[in-house]
Amino acid sequence: MITGRLEFIDLGPGAWQLTTPDGGRVRLVGPIPRSLDGREVVVEGKRLDGAGVAMVGPIVEVHRIEAR
């Protein structure tokens, strides 16, 4: 489980990025409601080994996400 600030960033077609309290950045994939943009969130998910189009940091597949 990770927490941080969720943002839909303007890279390529757009991507979800989570900035953790220590400044780390994680790219989230999976269905995420646009209403959470800019909110502090809690994410449950799985770290994926691979590559993506956003290239902002480690990639986490979201299983559950909610505002804190």
Q: Which of residues 5-64 bind another protein (CB under 8 A)?
A: 10-13, 15, 25, 29-30, 48-59, 61
67 contributes a contact to another protein by CB under 8 A: no
Q: Which amino acid is at 23?
A: G
- Residue among 22 and 68 whose Cβ is closer to another protein: 22
- Measured from the Cβ of residue 62, the count of other Cβ atoms closer than 10 Å reads 17
C-beta of residue 25 within 8 angstroms of C-beta of residue 16: no
CB of 46 to another protein, least distance (A): 12
What lies within 8 Å, CB to CB, of 33 at 6+ separation is none
Can you give the binding site for another protein, defined by CB under 8 A?
10-13, 15, 25, 29-30, 48-59, 61
